Structure 1
Amino acid sequence: FTVSLSAFAVKHYLREEEASECDDVRPFISDIKSTLPGFENLKTQDEVENKNAVDNNTYKKVPSWNHILSSFSNRKEPHQRGKGKELEMESPNHNLPLEISLYISDYVTTQFREERIGVPISNNMLQNVNMLIECLSSFERILRTPIPLAYSIHLSQTVWIYCLSLPFQLVSFVGWSTIPIVFFASFILLGIERIAAEIENPFGYDPNDLDLDGFCEIIQRELEIIIKHSPPNVDHWVYDKGNLDAIENADNETVKSINDENS
């Protein structure tokens, strides 16, 4: 579950939204006692809203962090595309995906210390957590590396100057054909200039941006399938009698074909 939660938190973080106020994240982090700036205000707001909900008989118990580590049962549906609600905090939004990774790492360490998992499993899980952090760092690098403003301005001015001067260069040679030629040339060059602007920050809500909502839903659906199905038992499919008979028949056919080739 925490992998799915981390994916949704990364989505909102890349869109510079307050993930702690989004419907697909907030119910599962309400009990995290964060020491990061601004979380005290969030905790106070949660207590006020919960008290008002109790008075209106609409309060539903928010699952604790320990509970969500083992179950999807109380999961809410992810919200649809739309801007996340921003809190009026004294400090800017913190890095919630990184904090979730720290909680996962601490959980794995605790399980290993209590001898519930072995060394290979704990090392593998911690390595996967490090991979999540590396992915987050790569996303931040893309998000925080915009196209230089001077480059965008210079490219736009150069394209417009060329398109405006092109008719004067062609009219003496091609006459009225200058109109369609300039039209298509301007269409191509202005399109390239616009594409250069669209490359910047692919994590937003524009139609050609990455479908982060779809990615998160796919991750969540695949994790649900993994959780619902137990790992297959080797005795039930490798050493099954029917499977062994099929393997024996295949081996006999292979031996027969080799003998036929040698003869």
Structure 2
Amino acid sequence: MSGEDESEVAAEAAAASAEIGEESDSNDLKKSKTKELFRKAYAQHRVEKMTKDMLTSLRNSENSPFVMAADEEDDGDGDVPVEKVTYDSDSHLSVLFQMHGSVWPSVLPFCLVNVLITYLVVLAKWNGIDLTFPSDGHTFMAIMVSFLIVTRAQITYHRFMEARGYLSELFRSCRELIHHTAILTMQDKCRGAKQWRKDVAFRTIVLLRVTIAALEFRTSKINTWDVVPTDMRQSMVTFVPDGASPSTPRASSTHRMMKWAHGVRTLSDENFRAPIVMAYNLRAEIMKQRNGQYLKIDMHPNEELKLLAFVSDYIAAFHGLKKLITTPFPFPLVQMARTFLFFWIFTLPFALVREISEPVQAMLIIFFTTFGFIGLEYVSMELDDPFGDDPNDFDDLGMAQMVFEDIYITLYKLDGSASAEDLRKQVANQVKRGGTAVQEYHRDMQESMGSMGNLA
């Protein structure tokens, strides 16, 4: 213990001793409590110092499995990741004029067209052609349009936040599963126990990666099964012909599944089936330790149920996300809202010019009214599908990578850096390219490990 550390601990102990002196006149009691507080302060200080040293070591180690690539430039392995929206809410000018993630580029053409219509109506009126009409009808319609547009925006925002909640539950379940797997078996340090923990961690990462690929399918159009490691392809279950040779086991399995189908299945249906199959594989991996070849200390059934419960929580969250993706905003409401919106907004100049004769004033009102109403509709469109590569979509890739890193760290703390690094190499070598998220994750692995040849 260094002199600086001793002085810090001594200062804490002295302060505690002074406090005890005010509370009790017994010298023996003071001594015993002082020793106890000194011991606790020293232990806490050592824990903080060890944690700080470990993090420093991880940051400085070139071979550490936790070092993430800082370079975001494209390396030819895929598209450059889409920059997500960030903004400074304290800077009014930044919020007003930031274009990235804004609806301004989409809404501005509508605003300009409506301003042009207003100018033409004013010009026609000046030339003796009065195209205007009373605003009573528009005033009444404004109530209905406002109700439809605002209600749609509110419902879409609630769906957006609900999806974010389910996504958080996916990540929480993965972290908790690995934490409890490590804690409940931390007394077992045999080779089989380490291998089992690494296998459970790998299956968890594959499940999360496959789930994200399934969520991104509508944007990426990449088959989720392409994400699954090669040695897990035998678990592929699909009711859709995949063009494989009839002699291959995969084609034989597909043909058998097609005969079991109760109806026509789309590729989108099959993509959402992949996480269910991977969850079954993860459950089987958790229970694999019962064969006696991995753990020297058997797990209690309640401990096994605890681990399986996290997988159940994960699947519940996945089904919540699937519900939101496969149940879009009701089409009749969208159609009605847009019909009223476009009819009302593009006939507004004919009613407004009758009330306001000043052309500049009328055009300014039309410009910002158009921006407000059509802008809200575009906000709803942005939030309606938060899984993809749009700036306002969820950064599911970044959040998933954080989960992967947390899993590596958990394995590192219990089984050492060799086990954690083996897991990361296994993920980098076996998780194949799929959707946008998979391509970016592959590139991150490639840059971080500095081995382009490992990513076929």
Q: CA deviation at 1:36?
A: 4.7
- Offset at 1:197? 2.1
Structure 1: gaps (5+ residues):
48-89, 232-263
TM-score by length of 1: 0.62
Deviation at 1:184, TM superposition (A): 0.3
Assess if the C-alpha contact under 8 Å between 2:383 and 2:392 holds in 1: no
Larger radius of gyration: 2
Which of 94, 109, 117 is the aligned partner of 2:287?
Answer: 109
Displacement, 1:172? 3.3
Residue 7 of structure 1 contacts residue 216 of structure 1 at CA under 8 Å; is this kept in 2? yes
What does 1:139-178 align with in structure 2 at a 5 Å threshold?
139-175=321-357, 176=359, 177-178=361-362
What fraction of aligned residue pairs are identical, expressed as a percent?
A: 18
C-alpha deviations, 1:76-125, integer Å up to 9, x for none?
A: xxxxxxxxxxxxxx974351111111112122233246473212320110
> 1:118 corresponds to which letter in structure 2?
H
Aligned counterpart, 2:223: 18
CA distance in 2, matches of 1:36, 1:123: 29
What corresponds to 1:80 in structure 2?
Answer: none
Which residue, out of 193, 196, 206, partners 2:390? 206
Residue 132 (structure 1) aligned with residue 314 (structure 2): yes
- Report what 1:191 is aligned to: 375
- Aligned partner letter, 1:134: A
The alignment status of 1:2 with 2:193, answered yes or no, reads no
Partner of 1:122: 304
Q: Do 2:235 and 2:277's aligned partners in 1 also have CA atoms closer than 8 Å?
A: no
Partner letter of residue 20 of structure 1? W
Determine if contact 1:20/1:29 at 8 Å carries over to the other structure.
no
Matched residue SS, 1:230: helix
The 1-side partners of 2:247 and 2:390 are apart by: 32
CA–CA distance in structure 1, aligned partners of residues 338 and 244 of structure 2: 44
Q: Quick check: 1:221 aligned with 2:426? A: no
Q: CA deviation at 1:222?
A: 1.1
Distance of aligned partners of 1:33 and 1:156 in 2 relative to their CA distance in 1, 3 Å threshold: closer
Tell me the distance in 1 between the aligned counterparts of 2:215 and 2:306: 27
Two-structure CA RMSD over aligned residues (Å): 3.1
Q: 1:44 to 1:221 in 2, by over 3 A?
A: farther
Q: Is the 8 A contact 1:152 1:197 kept in 2?
A: no
Counterpart AA for 2:301: V
Compared CA separation, residues 163 and 35, structure 1 to 2 (3 A): closer
Give the distance between the partners of 1:39 and 1:228, measured in 2 at CA.
42
Partner of 1:72: none
Aligned length: 188
What TM-score does the superposition give when structure 2 sets the normalisation length?
0.37
CA distance in 2, matches of 1:156, 1:102: 44
Q: In structure 1, how many angstroms separate the alpha carbons of the residues matched to 2:280 and 2:245?
A: 20
Q: Report the AA paired with residue 345 of structure 2.
A: C
Q: Distance in 2 between matches of 1:153 and 1:122?
A: 50
Give, in whole Å, the separation in 2 of the partners of 1:183 and 1:158: 18
| Residues 40, 178 of structure 1: alpha-carbon distance in 2 compared, 3 angstrom cutoff | closer
Instruction: Summarize deviations over 1:191-227 as a string: whole Å, max 9, x none.
Output: 1111222232221222222122112211111111111
Q: CA deviation at 1:136?
A: 1.0
More relative contact order, 1 or 2 (CA 8 Å, 6+ apart): 2
Aligned residue for 2:225, secondary structure, equals helix
- How far has the Cα of 1:42 moved from its partner? 6.4
Secondary structure (helix, strand or coil) at the match of 2:384 reads: coil
> What SS class does the counterpart of residue 132 from structure 1 fall into?
helix
C-alpha change, 1:195 and 1:40, in structure 2 (3 Å) is closer
Counterpart-to-counterpart distance in 1, 2:399 and 2:411 = 19
Higher helix share: 2
Is the 2:386–2:394 contact (alpha carbons within 8 Å) kept by the matching residues of 1? yes
Post-superposition offset of 1:179: 0.7
Q: Deviations over 1:116-147 (max 9, x none)?
A: 32123201101011011101101101111111
- Where 1:117 maps in the other structure, the secondary structure is coil
Structure 2 CA distance for partners of 1:103 and 1:124, relative to 1, 3 Å: same
* Matched residue SS, 1:229: helix
